[in-house]
Amino acid sequence: MSDSGNLPCLTCGACCKSYRVSFYWTEGLERGLPDGLTEQLTPHLSCMRGTNASRPYCIALGKGDAGPMACGVYAQRPQACREVEIGDEKCTRARGLHGLPAIPVPA
């Protein structure tokens, strides 16, 4: 999910229900992600709970106040989430998986 100032994300969330969101386990500690929102994948890797599934759906999706699909841990979200930008390849693929059109990259 891109910046919350980007309104399309607040009613979309497609990338948060398309990919496994994994990270080196210390990133969760460093960012202050609550343990209950993460899952251990391997001795060194964790992921956002709900994203290591055949139909991923991050546990934090829709838990924020900024919109219906706002991230509930926006300030603490892992780097993998921060790297998805509106209109990029991951965004476009995720939206396509959920029947949504691609968004043109903002000028």
State the DSSP H helix or E strand holding residue 23, giving kind and residue range, or none if neither.
strand 22-24
Q: Which positions from 1 to 20 touch ligand SF4 by CB under 6 A, shown as an x/- string?
A: xx-----xx--xxxxx----
Cα–Cα distance for residue pair 101/82, rounded to 1 Å = 21
Would you state the structure tokens that stand for residue 43, as one six-digit string?
């001795």
47 is a site residue for ligand SF4 (CB under 6 A): no
CA angle 6/19/17 to nearest 5° reads: 60
Residue with Cβ nearer ligand SF4 (45 or 103): 103
Candidates 54, 60, 104, 105; binder of ligand SF4 (CB under 6 A) is 60
Positions in the binding site for ligand SF4 (CB under 6 A): 1-2, 8-9, 12-16, 21, 48, 58, 60-61, 71, 73, 77, 81, 84, 86, 91, 94-95, 103
